[in-house]
Amino acid sequence: MTTMAIVGNKGSGKTLLATAMAANDGRRILSNYVLRLPNYAPVEPEDLYSITEPTLVILDEAYTWLESRVSGNVLNRYLSYILFQSRKRQIDFILTAQMFETVDRRFRGQTDIYVEADPTVFAFVYRFMAPGRKPRTMALARDVAEKYFPLYDTMEVVDPLDDEMLYEVCTDPTKAHKEAERVLAELLEISPAITWTQAAIDGYCMEKGYYRVIAKMVWGKVSLLKTIEKSKKLAEKEPPKAGAAGKKIKPRKVV
């Protein structure tokens, strides 16, 4: 199947072209931004694995899913696997990006059609390029483009999937610690710290929708509580050792 990348500056009509193509496509449309189309459905990464029918997948601001600087992470490797299987899974991809370099290199390498968005005063202009084919240019007049604007929110912000990065870049760590303390209190109401394992905490946080970074912090706090509890028990079991004050000091002979 085909992978198309639409690249251009802010306001150049990247999402407009993707939306126009979706509006004229009768297949199921999955996208990471809201489309007011009857055949649209929101997409999450896990949805791609179960696709068994012809589907158009649109990833607006593709770097939010396919950040090139973390190409080794699980999400990038998973999406690369889906891309390599796209023909068998009957998936076409449309990616938009301000800078193509921000997209994972595996998707860049598998891109079949590269589109440059470069608007003018009167129209949104697109230059289509594909290996072995002559470049062609398409212009979407602004009065024609207006019929597509109601189909999506031009001001919608596509949030990165890894939104827990907000905790990691936060300059005030007390916010994350307060959240971890709150979650820890929930756990201790259910069961003592000694009974909680890392896997159990991860499962609890996943079920409640807490970020992984919070789960890690909670596990650290639980581990500390376990260590303190074990130290107390060891101190209770060990008999008191005779100190220097309990020993008799023999006088030395002076020669």
Report pLDDT digits (tens) over 222-251. 999 989 888 888 887 766 665 555 555 566
Domain assignment present for residue 247? The answer is no
Q: Are residues 139 and 61 in the same domain?
A: yes
Domain assignment present for residue 251? The answer is no
Q: Are residues 44 and 93 in the same domain?
A: yes
Share of the chain above pLDDT 70, in %: 84
> Which phi and psi angles does 92 have, rounded to 5°?
-105, 140
Q: What is the pTM of this model?
A: 0.64
Domain assignment present for residue 157? The answer is no
Cβ neighbours for 219, distance < 8 A, ≥ 6 positions apart: 198, 201, 202
Residue 160 pLDDT: 61
Q: Which helix (H) or strand (E) holds 14?
A: helix 14-23
Q: Are residues 173 and 138 in the same domain?
A: no
How many domains, in total, are found in the chain? 2
The DSSP string of 17-67 is HHHHHHHT--SEEEESS----TTEEE--HHHHHT--S-EEEEETTGGGT-B
DSSP state of 125: E
Domain assignment present for residue 130? The answer is yes
SS3 label, residue 212: helix
Domain assignment present for residue 249? The answer is no
Domain assignment present for residue 224? The answer is yes
Report the pLDDT averaged over residues 135-158.
Answer: 91
Does the pLDDT at position 29 exceed 90?
yes
Q: Are residues 147 and 169 in the same domain?
A: no
Q: Are residues 100 and 190 in the same domain?
A: no
Q: Are residues 116 and 223 in the same domain?
A: no
Q: Are residues 82 and 104 in the same domain?
A: yes
- Parent domain of 220: 165-237
Q: Are residues 132 and 229 in the same domain?
A: no
**Which amino acid does the sequence have at 202?**
D
Domain assignment present for residue 243? The answer is no
CATH number, domain containing residue 77? 3.40.50.300
